[in-house]
Amino acid sequence: MNSDVLIIGAGVIGLCIARELHKKGFRRIEIVERGKAGQEASFAAAGMLAPNAETDKIDDFYHFCSESNGLYPGFAAELLEETGIDIELDRSGTLFLAFSEKDAAVLRNRFNWQRDAGLRVEHLTAAETLGLEPFISTDVCESLFFADDWQVENRKLLAALLKYTQLNGIEIQEHTEIQRICLEDGKITGAESASNKFLADLTILATGAWTSLIKLGEAAMPIIVKPIRGQMIGFHPHERLFQRVIYSPRGYIVPRADGRILTGATVEDAGFDKSVTEDGVGKLREAALEIAPCLGDFEISDRWTGLRPFAAEGLPILGEIPNAGNLFVATAHYRNGILLAPLTAKIIAARIAEGKVSEYLKIFHPQRFRGVEQLSQLL
């Protein structure tokens, strides 16, 4: 098939871009996926939409996160209308607990600058915190409450995006690993796997942690993305014990509507190894029990891992490879790809469909990698 747009990678980023391009009128969109669609980092994630809880400064990345978060209510409503799938956007907010004077000092610092910057953050006493979440540890000293940090059921989000592709004739070729972006006479003509060529007017790399493994013609990919493993565990108490996402400095718990409680996550440089380790599970359980000792009454019901796509400074890589004109990259969303998917898709699609260059494309452009500058001179 000769597509208008070839998207490599069917994670949340590739699927959101496909949907956005389809809404802008593109009809021949093909997605190629090395495994099964929507089963990698986007599936492993906790689904927190948390621009504020972990932030220590207001910078371009903060604004990018915050703006994308603001798209979620509309995005969730549209997906429900388009696919009938409720992605369980939960706007109950996020608590960040302190269990020691050292934890409290970090929280107070965050509270002071965020309040001074006009962000929505509240400083709560232990009693106020326990009033909101009675099942947490009575050892809590104080907490911060972030009303604008939410959560979404990321697996339902993936299900909704996949349903959108099915309903709208967007083809997904699964179990097909792209090895090379094809370059002919200085122009990108698509991509190839071991046995197939996928010709397209325009190619988008949404390949998460695996991006650097793909060749660009005969050259190595000049964009450096590495996998950072995150292990997670789950408990399933069958009734909803917590209403909000709850962090401590050592981990977080995310209560789902069906009673499941996800606990995350490790941050490990372990290459492409997706093992769950005894050490990782032990540390996660400890972090969960510090937040809520009552979780010790439940078996660990589930354990899994995912590979976060990390690039220099932890910042995403978004936009066009200069001079190629028809090769785009949308990757390296590291710890915030679920949060950043709606805005990423909007700015990439607006660039492709209307030539609009968002400020964020100027900030997170791929040319910040020296090899991309050099490569673009060859095109």
| Contacts to ligand GLY by CB under 6 A | 46, 48, 230, 264-265, 308, 335
Q: Which residues bind ligand FAD (CB under 6 A)?
A: 8-14, 32-35, 40-42, 44-48, 177-178, 206-210, 214, 230, 232, 264-265, 306, 308-309, 331, 333-339
Nearer to ligand GLY, 263 or 326 (CB): 263
Task: Kindly tell me which of 123 and 250 has the beta carbon lying closer to ligand FAD.
Answer: 250
For CA atoms 256, 258, 259, 265, the dihedral sign is negative
Q: Position 296: which residue type?
A: G
Q: Nearest 5°: CA angle at 71, between 65 and 76?
A: 125
- In whole angstroms, the minimum distance from the beta carbon of 256 to ligand FAD comes to 12
| Cα 361-365-369 angle, rounded to 5 deg | 175
291 token code pair: 């937040």
Spatial contact of 46 and 254, defined as CB atoms under 8 Å apart: yes
Pick 33 or 90: Cβ nearer ligand FAD: 33
Over the Cα atoms of the chain, what is R_g?
Answer: 21
CB of 138 to ligand FAD, least distance (A): 27
Q: Least distance to ligand GLY from the beta carbon of 205, Å?
A: 21
Minimum distance between the CB of residue 49 and ligand FAD, rounded to whole angstroms? 7
Alpha carbon 330 to its chain centroid, in Å, reads 11
The one of ligand GLY, ligand FAD, none whose footprint includes residue 327, by CB under 5 to 8 A per kind, is none
Nearer to ligand FAD, 9 or 190 (CB): 9
Q: What is the DSSP letter of 221?
A: P
In the bound state with ligand FAD, the residue whose beta carbon lies nearer, of 46 and 375, is: 46
Residues 6+ away with beta carbon under 8 Å from 122: 144, 145, 147
| Encoded amino acid at 250, one letter | R
Query: What are the φ and ψ backbone dihedral angles of 153, each rounded to 5 degrees?
Result: -85, 95
For the bound state, the minimum distance from the C-beta of residue 250 to ligand GLY, rounded and expressed in Å, comes to 12
- In this complex, which beta carbon is closest to ligand FAD, that of residue 142 or of residue 248? 248
CB of 49 to ligand GLY, least distance (A): 10
**CB burial class (10 A; 0-12, 13-18, 19+) of residue 185?**
exposed
Strand 215-216 to strand 180-184: parallel, antiparallel, or no bridges (unpaired)? parallel
